[in-house]
């Protein structure tokens, strides 16, 4: 528990100044360090052929986002399938099969990092450093860019956000939501990259490998396993661990992720990595206020997220130690003895709250009810959430809560002075429907057609495993119930689809909704309008989140983790 | 001529009351509304009806125990019928109002005047008798004491007291007069005194009454924008639950749970928002009806809904905030002038003045002892917009008495070569500062003094503005008075802002500027010169007593001609939205407990440990399902009175309203069904066993 509080306190203490800095970066106003960064950024803009000051409409912004993903995705897919013939492959690793390559590409392109392969054995240094780490650097900033654009649209567009301009004057015209390329480049170079450098240095200091040499051959002390010699896979691990933790990525160098001593050697490295799980998502919540100029908006976002996070983390830790599987041998199954139950449950809840997906224990072996908590976190996907995506999803819930709460205060629902009407509700309905359609649809198909799908566990746990895999994919989390034999055509292809469905509509539709709102007449907030920055409304939003998630997924959760818990408890 | 005595006051009476006959009619309508053409309008209810048919076929095919199967089928059917019944009851109330209106309209006979120019009161002969239905706009009809006015129109000649109870339910007679802002009359109302000539303004079948009947019957009710958005959200939730239920059997089969299709249908119907889905049309119809019970005729449901969002209310001072008939209350003679001299001059200048102000000057002068009679050879000067003064020329132009606004009289006196004493300005300001209107009197080249005209603020107006303010609505008073007078009256009446010395175009400009900064504006008006402003405003409430142009321009007409009635409309609009929001929240919150009733019942046979989820301790799986379904069905009729009456609304800040409604309908919506389902289960257990 002390570690949980320490992590939380550090995340809030560091997240606050980081959030203010991030707001300044994303606002694009003159700031310190401009001369250095402008000089670094200029070649990028020239290469992309864009004027960073020129704004885009929401359509232009979404198109640029889609285009960047298509191009980068195509290149990385090609890289994975040709890595054997390319340089920086000292361990002579073969090419990836096309479907695993596709799934890996989509998974990293969507900031998910769901892994149906084992990194140290199946990817070359080049694939890891350029393909994997490149995407791990770029995709969090793409998510951030989309939410920043959405916030701009909610405030009526960039013109309206400039001081002294009348928000009413922009009604009827398309809002300028910013420049996509500039947002990604600025966020990446001025914010994420320096932070990652710092974390890699700190992790290297703890003994995480950081080398381009091939791994050495070691002789095991205990030869009873029948292995006389073992090749130790090394590589530039520290930078990758830094970005996978900080960028809500989760995909580690090694298959077992941060439970391996090489990725997570010391208690301090565990603290650093646990902190990094939520640091930037917390900073994004703090960014909201200074970025939009509505300080209390941060209080709403941060307060709601913090409350949900504390409840989920506390519940997870308590359930792990005190429910059906808490007896001595069962409790430590799938856990690293160095960390124990509490630190594992802490990591498990935080990694699912933030859409990170890295693990320091095997979620497959968590107590069924802790598994339920991690599933709930990913189904909500807005308790911090992925960088950008979490806030974006929170805005979706916010709009729904405003719709209901607005009605209950006797006014046509409006957010920041703009009315939510049929068009916006239609777009939001699409998002509401998409989640159960993808998750329950594929879970039912997979369970009904075992001959195609190769799911490996029977019974309630089998349901949890399959549902977890799709939930993790849709939430762009990436963690897995690792018992699943998932490197098959079925899993690679359906997961690729679910990954994309969980990423692109969830990022683009809220932007479209916000842009649609920005076109409307702006009403100044008066004494009769709903004030969203109040505890009453925050609790309303949380109630909407909980009830909606519960109503959509209660049956499958009852048949999976709850039934498993009840049957374990009965023994 | 058909003379009828009308029931007054009853037709718009208690909103929630309904008699046995219309109850029977509503039950019949509930069955008629099962027709596919009607049921598809509500996606939620369409699914329940589909589920009913499916449940019946499953039972017929013998795939479920007959008793249980038919019980489920019957409850599902009753759920749909309850939803239809709610709508039918709301419509029946509208029809009740409509039929009493219709009585007022039928078989009227008109006396058409063919030569209006030559018409004199009391004259007979140049009239044609014809059925009212044959009247065309532009026709003139004469209506005498005791007769019903055959069509909507405007009085072009004469004045009369009229009983409008047939339309408004208000039995106190109203005065209608040609050439004023109170010249409009409604077909079907009764002239109590005098004789008037009315120019017909409505096409047959499109009269005020006709439109009103169509509206209250809900014949062409359009869904409001918010209703459309909410229907969309409910459809999305319905589809979501369809996905949940459709995938459940495949997921369950993996662990050996074979879910009975009948139970799946039951689960689906319990989950989809049937409560709000069934009551949504009734809420919309009831909103219009409630507006009508407040004697406001809204031209569309959208107008009522928009009223709930109003930020700014513009109203004319005259007749709205004050009684409007400014009364002479004092004569202030200038130094060196005898008060009697001023009084007599004022009296002389007002003898032929037909305005209420003029008459009040005469009355005050007489009260103070002026005994002067009508002088001979007097030439009266009428007030015109150009001269802006009135008065009288006596003794063949030797005595020129004038009264008018300060600056007008100043110019007049200066033009005659006279002087304006410095004292006048102070006197005028003194009167104005007290909230009264100063009227300056001059005789020849001399200024005599000032008449004080006071306008009395209506009783209770201040409270109503305070209530509007509590709802977040800003009030702006528009007046032709000078700024000092305006400020005094504004302070006394408690309005937030005022526009003094306003011209008609100022109203329009103010509305436009408020709208440009994003506010929703309501305008209350009655005069023809208000028509552009009424049309421009988001909510234009025209007074029924007002001119036809004003009534056409607004989107609501207040039958009582009470300008503060907007308050009632705003409350109806807000209530309607709150009722929708509250029942949606309630409906969705209910689902939590239904899961706890039905899921253990679904899985219990295959997974005995699931009994742990049966937190209500329901007696058997079958009873659990039936109890949830029965609760689900019964909650609809239980909430019909609430839907018709609207959720209680007290002006309060949005946060307070939200907190109260979330606690009541959100938290209450989660908890209540746990108790209710348990009670139904106990009843089932006692009557049919487990």
Residue B382 has pLDDT above 70, yes or no: yes
- Specify the DSSP element, H or E, that contains A473: helix A459-474
Please give the share of chain A, as a percent, with pLDDT higher than 70. 95
**Which letter does DSSP use for residue A173 in this model?**
S
What was the pLDDT predicted at B4? Answer: 38
Beta-carbon separation of B229 and A425 below 8 A: yes
Q: How confident is the model at residue A543 (pLDDT cuts 50, 70, 90)?
A: very high
- For B117, B201, B356, B653, the CA distances from B547, given in Å and listed in that order, are 22, 11, 19, 37
B116: alpha, beta or left? (left if phi > 0; alpha if psi -120 to 50): alpha
What was the pLDDT predicted at B178? Answer: 78
What was the pLDDT predicted at B9? Answer: 36
Q: Decide which of B354 and A365 is more confident.
A: A365
**Is residue A529 assigned to a domain?**
yes
What was the pLDDT predicted at B290? Answer: 81
What was the pLDDT predicted at B430? Answer: 83
- The residues in B 431-450 lying below 8 A from A, measured between CB atoms, are none
Residue B534 has pLDDT above 70, yes or no: yes
Q: And the tokens for B440?
A: 């300056």
What was the pLDDT predicted at A163? Answer: 55
Q: Decide which of A465 and B292 is more confident.
A: A465
Per-residue model confidence as pLDDT tens digits over B115-135 = 766 666 556 667 778 877 778
Report residue A504: phi and psi, to 5°: -70, -50
Can you tell me which residue has the tokens 């495949």?
A: B250
Signed CA dihedral, B254, B257, B263, B268: sign only: negative
pTM (two decimals): 0.83
**Is residue A13 assigned to a domain?**
no
Angle at A558 between CA A553 and CA A564, to 5 degrees: 135
Q: Decide which of B182 and B664 is more confident.
A: B664
What was the pLDDT predicted at A414? Answer: 87
What is the interface pTM, i.e. ipTM, of the complex?
0.91
- The residues in B 530-589 lying below 8 A from A, measured between CB atoms, are 573-575, 577-578, 580-582, 584-585, 588-589
- Cα–Cα distance, B90 to B110 (Å, whole number): 35
Residue of B nearest to A568 (CA): B609
Average pLDDT of every residue of chain A: 87
What is the rounded end-to-end Cα distance, in angstroms, of chain B? Answer: 70
- Is the separation of the CB atoms in A404 and A544 below 8 Å? yes
What was the pLDDT predicted at B208? Answer: 67
**Is residue A282 assigned to a domain?**
no
Q: How confident is the model at residue B376 (pLDDT cuts 50, 70, 90)?
A: confident
Number of compact structural domains in chain A: 1
Q: Decide which of A564 and B481 is more confident.
A: A564
Per-residue model confidence as pLDDT tens digits over B207-247 = 766 766 666 665 556 677 888 899 899 999 999 999 999 99
Q: How confident is the model at residue B319 (pLDDT cuts 50, 70, 90)?
A: low
What was the pLDDT predicted at B670? Answer: 92
- For A89, B46, B56, B87, B536, the CA distances from B39, given in Å and listed in that order, are 67, 6, 18, 12, 38
Report the DSSP beta bridge partners of residue B97.
none
- Is the separation of the CB atoms in A238 and A271 below 8 Å? no
CA distance A512 to chain B (A): 17
Residues of A whose CB is below 8 A from B657: 408-410
* Residue positions of B annotated with a catalytic role: 316
CA distance A438 to chain B (A): 10
Average pLDDT of every residue of chain B: 81
Task: Tell me the H-state helices in A339-418.
Answer: 340-353, 368-380, 389-408
Q: And the tokens for A524?
A: 């100044």
Q: Decide which of A58 and A114 is more confident.
A: A58
Report the DSSP beta bridge partners of residue B570.
none
Report the DSSP beta bridge partners of residue B131.
B109
Q: Which of A438, A449, A428 is closest to A472 using CA atoms?
A: A438
What is the rounded average pLDDT of the residues B560-581?
83
Q: How confident is the model at residue A453 (pLDDT cuts 50, 70, 90)?
A: low
What is the rounded end-to-end Cα distance, in angstroms, of chain A? Answer: 29
Per-residue model confidence as pLDDT tens digits over A98-119 = 888 999 999 999 988 888 877 6
CA distance A399 to chain B (A): 12
Q: Decide which of B17 and B363 is more confident.
A: B363
Residues of B whose CB is below 8 A from A463: 251, 254-255
Report residue B393: phi and psi, to 5°: -110, 120
**Is residue A319 assigned to a domain?**
yes
Crossing angle for the helix pair A535-557 and B654-661, to the nearest 10 degrees: 30
Q: How confident is the model at residue B3 (pLDDT cuts 50, 70, 90)?
A: very low
Q: Which of A432-441, A479-488, B131-140 has the lowest mean pLDDT?
A: A479-488
**Is residue A138 assigned to a domain?**
yes
- Cα–Cα distance, B420 to B418 (Å, whole number): 7
Per-residue model confidence as pLDDT tens digits over A149-171 = 999 999 888 888 775 455 555 55
Per-residue model confidence as pLDDT tens digits over A1-14 = 688 889 999 999 99
B605 interface with A at CB cutoff 8 Å = no
- Cα–Cα distance, A404 to B297 (Å, whole number): 28
A449 interface with B at CB cutoff 8 Å = no
At B350, is the secondary structure helix, strand, or coil? helix
What was the pLDDT predicted at A539? Answer: 94
A178: domain range?
A: 33-183+294-570
Beta-carbon separation of B609 and A567 below 8 A: yes
**Is residue A301 assigned to a domain?**
yes
Please give the share of chain A, as a percent, with pLDDT higher than 90. 45
What was the pLDDT predicted at B247? Answer: 93
- Specify the DSSP element, H or E, that contains B449: strand B446-454
- Cα–Cα distance, B71 to B75 (Å, whole number): 6
What is the rounded average pLDDT of the residues B190-199?
82
Q: How confident is the model at residue B383 (pLDDT cuts 50, 70, 90)?
A: confident
What is the rounded average pLDDT of the residues A322-351?
80
Residue B365 has pLDDT above 90, yes or no: no
Report the DSSP beta bridge partners of residue B155.
B198
**Which letter does DSSP use for residue A558 in this model?**
I
Q: And the tokens for B680?
A: 């139904």
Q: And the tokens for A320?
A: 């792990």
At B649, is the secondary structure helix, strand, or coil? coil
- The residues in A 386-415 lying below 8 A from B, measured between CB atoms, are 403-413
- Is the separation of the CB atoms in B154 and B199 below 8 Å? yes
| Sheet (strand B399-404) strand order | B327-333, B446-454, B437-443, B399-404, B389-394, B379-381
Interface test with A, best of B225, B240, B668 (most A CBs within 10 A): B240
- Is the separation of the CB atoms in A276 and A243 below 8 Å? no
Can you tell me which residue has the tokens 């849709």?
A: A474
Q: And the tokens for A500?
A: 């994309």
Q: How confident is the model at residue B6 (pLDDT cuts 50, 70, 90)?
A: very low
What is the rounded average pLDDT of the residues A35-52?
89
Residues of B whose CB is below 8 A from A527: 469, 472, 653
Residues of B whose CB is below 8 A from A551: 237, 240-241, 244, 271, 588, 591-592, 595
CA distance B170 to chain A (A): 30
What is the rounded average pLDDT of the residues B554-571?
80
**Is residue A299 assigned to a domain?**
yes
A444 interface with B at CB cutoff 8 Å = yes
**Is residue A48 assigned to a domain?**
yes
Can you tell me which residue has the tokens 């795939």?
A: B63
């Amino acid at each position: 528990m002390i570690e949980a509080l320490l992590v939380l306190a550090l995340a809030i203490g560091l997240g606050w100044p980081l959030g203010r800095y991030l707001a300044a970066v994303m606002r694009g106003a003159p700031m310190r360090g401009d001369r250095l960064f402008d000089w670094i950024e200029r070649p990028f803009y020239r290469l992309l052929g864009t004027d960073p000051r020129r704004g885009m409409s929401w359509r232009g912004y979404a198109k640029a986002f889609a285009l960047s993903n298509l191009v980068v995705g195509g290149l990385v897919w090609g890289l994975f399938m040709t890595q054997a013939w390319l340089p920086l492959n000292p361990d002579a690793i073969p090419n990836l099969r096309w479907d695993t390559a596709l799934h890996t590409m989509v998974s990293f392109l969507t900031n998910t990092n769901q892994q149906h392969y084992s990194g140290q054995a199946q990817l070359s240094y080049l694939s890891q450093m350029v393909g994997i780490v490149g995407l791990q650097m770029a995709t969090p900033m793409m998510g951030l860019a989309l939410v920043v654009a959405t916030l701009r649209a909610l405030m009526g567009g960039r013109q309206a956000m400039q001081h002294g301009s009348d928000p009413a004057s922009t009604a009827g015209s398309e809002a300028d939501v910013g420049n996509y390329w500039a947002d990604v480049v600025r966020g990446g170079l001025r914010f994420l990259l320096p932070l990652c450098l710092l974390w890699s240095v700190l992790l290297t200091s703890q003994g995480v490998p950081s080398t381009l040499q091939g791994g050495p051959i070691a002789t095991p002390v205990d030869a009873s396993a029948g292995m006389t010699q073992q090749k130790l896979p090394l590589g530039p691990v520290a930078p990758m661990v830094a970005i996978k933790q900080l960028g809500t990525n989760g995909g580690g160098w090694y298959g077992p992720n941060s439970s391996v001593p090489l990725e997570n050697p010391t208690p301090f490295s565990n603290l650093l990595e646990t902190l990094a799980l939520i640091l930037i998502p917390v900073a994004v919540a703090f960014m909201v206020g200074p970025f939009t100029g509505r300080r209390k908006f941060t209080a709403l976002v941060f307060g709601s997220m913090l409350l949900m996070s504390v409840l989920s983390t506390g519940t997870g830790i308590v359930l792990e130690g005190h429910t059906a599987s808490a007896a001595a041998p069962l409790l430590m199954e799938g856990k690293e003895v160095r960390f124990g139950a509490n630190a594992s449950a802490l990591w498990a809840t935080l990694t699912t709250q933030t859409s990170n997906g890295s693990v320091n224990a095997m979620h497959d072996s968590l107590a069924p009810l802790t598994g339920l908590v991690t599933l709930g976190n990913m189904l909500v996907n807005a308790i911090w959430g992925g960088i950008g995506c979490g806030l974006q999803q929170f805005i979706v819930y916010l709009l729904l809560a405003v719709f209901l709460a607005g009605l209950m205060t006797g006014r046509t629902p409006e957010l920041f002075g703009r009315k939510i009407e049929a068009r916006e509700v239609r777009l939001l309905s699409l998002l509401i429907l998409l989640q159960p359609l993808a998750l329950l649809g594929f879970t039912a198909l997979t369970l009904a057609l075992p001959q195609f799908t190769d799911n490996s566990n029977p019974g309630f746990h089998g349901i949890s495993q399959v549902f977890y895999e799709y939930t993790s994919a849709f939430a762009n989390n990436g963690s897995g119930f690792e018992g699943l034999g998932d490197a098959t055509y079925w899993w690679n292809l359906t997961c690729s689809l679910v990954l994309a469905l969980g990423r692109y509509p969830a990022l683009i539709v809220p932007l479209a909704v916000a842009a649609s709102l920005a076109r409307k007449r702006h009403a100044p907030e008066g004494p009769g309008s709903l004030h969203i920055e109040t505890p009453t409304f925050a609790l309303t939003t949380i109630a909407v989140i909980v009830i909606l998630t519960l109503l959509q997924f209660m049956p499958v959760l009852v048949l999976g983790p709850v039934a498993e818990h009840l049957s374990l408890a009965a023994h | 001529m058909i003379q009828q005595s009308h029931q007054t006051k009853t037709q718009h009476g208690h909103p929630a009351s309904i008699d046995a006959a219309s109850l029977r009619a509503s039950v019949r309508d509930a069955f008629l509304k099962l027709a596919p053409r009607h049921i598809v309008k509500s996606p939620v209810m369409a699914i329940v009806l589909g589920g009913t048919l499916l449940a019946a076929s499953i039972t017929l095919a013998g795939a479920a125990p007959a008793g249980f199967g038919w019980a489920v089928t019957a409850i599902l059917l009753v759920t749909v019928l309850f939803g239809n019944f709610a709508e039918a009851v709301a419509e029946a109330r509208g029809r009740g109002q409509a039929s009493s209106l219709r009585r007022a309209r039928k078989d009227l006979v008109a006396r058409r005047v063919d030569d209006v120019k030559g018409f004199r009161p009391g004259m007979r002969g140049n009239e044609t008798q014809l059925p009212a239905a044959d009247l065309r706009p532009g026709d003139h009809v004469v209506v005498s004491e005791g007769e019903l006015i055959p069509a909507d129109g405007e009085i072009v000649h004469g004045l009369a007291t009229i009983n409008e109870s047939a339309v408004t339910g208000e039995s106190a007679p109203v005065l209608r007069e040609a050439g004023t802002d109170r010249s409009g009359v409604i077909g079907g109302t009764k002239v109590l005194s005098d004789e008037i000539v009315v120019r017909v303004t409505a096409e047959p079948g499109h009269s005020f009454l006709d439109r009103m009947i169509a509206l209250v019957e809900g014949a062409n009710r359009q869904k409001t924008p918010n209703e459309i958005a909410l229907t969309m959200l409910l459809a999305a939730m319905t589809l979501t639950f369809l996905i949940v239920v459709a995938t459940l059997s495949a997921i369950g089969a993996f662990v050996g749970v074979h879910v009975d299709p009948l139970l799946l249908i039951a689960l689906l119907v319990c989950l989809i928002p049937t409560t709000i889905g069934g009551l949504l049309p009734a809420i919309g119809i009831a909103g219009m009806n409630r507006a009508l019970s407040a004697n406001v005729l809204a031209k569309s449901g959208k107008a009522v809904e928009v009223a709930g969002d109003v930020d700014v209310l513009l109203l004319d001072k005259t007749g709205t905030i004050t009684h409007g008939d400014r009364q002479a209350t004092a004569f202030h003679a200038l130094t060196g002038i005898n008060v009697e001299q001023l009084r007599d001059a004022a009296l002389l200048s007002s003898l032929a003045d037909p305005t209420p102000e003029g008459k009040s000057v005469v009355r005050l002068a007489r009260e103070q002892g002026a005994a002067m009679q009508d002088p001979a050879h007097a030439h009266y000067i009428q007030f015109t917009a150009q001269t802006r003064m009135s008065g009288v020329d006596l003794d063949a132009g030797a005595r020129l008495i004038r009264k008018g606004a300060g600056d007008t009289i100043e110019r007049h006196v200066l033009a005659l070569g006279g002087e304006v004493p410095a004292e006048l300005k102070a006197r005028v300001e003194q009167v104005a500062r007290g909230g009264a209107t100063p009227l300056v009197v001059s005789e020849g080249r001399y200024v005599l003094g000032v008449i004080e005209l006071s306008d009395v603020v209506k009783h209770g107006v201040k409270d109503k503005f305070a209530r509007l303010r509590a709802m977040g609505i800003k009030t702006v008073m528009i007046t032709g008075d000078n700024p000092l007078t305006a400020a005094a009256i504004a302070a006394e009446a408690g309005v937030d802002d005022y526009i003094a010395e306003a011209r008609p175009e100022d109203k329009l400009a103010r509305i436009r500027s408020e709208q440009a900064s994003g506010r929703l504006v309501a305008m209350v008006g009655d005069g023809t010169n208000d028509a552009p402003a009424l049309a421009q405003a988001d909510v234009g409430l025209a007074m029924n007593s007002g001119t036809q142009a004003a009534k056409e321009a607004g989107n609501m007409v207040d039958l009582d001609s009470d300008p503060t009635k907007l308050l009632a409309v705003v409350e109806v609009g807000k209530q309607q939205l709150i009722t929708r929001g509250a029942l949606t929240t309630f409906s969705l919150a209910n689902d939590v407990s239904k899961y706890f009733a039905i899921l253990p019942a679904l899985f219990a046979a295959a997974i005995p440990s699931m009994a742990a989820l049966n937190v209500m301790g329901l007696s058997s799986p079958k009873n659990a399902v039936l109890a949830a379904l029965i609760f689900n069905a019964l909650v609809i009729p239980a909430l019909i009175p609430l839907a018709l009456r609207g959720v209680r609304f007290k002006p309060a800040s949005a946060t307070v309203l939200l907190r109260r409604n979330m606690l009541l309908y959100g938290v209450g919506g989660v908890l209540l069904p746990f108790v209710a389902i348990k009670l139904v289960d106990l009843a089932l257990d006692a009557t049919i066993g487990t």
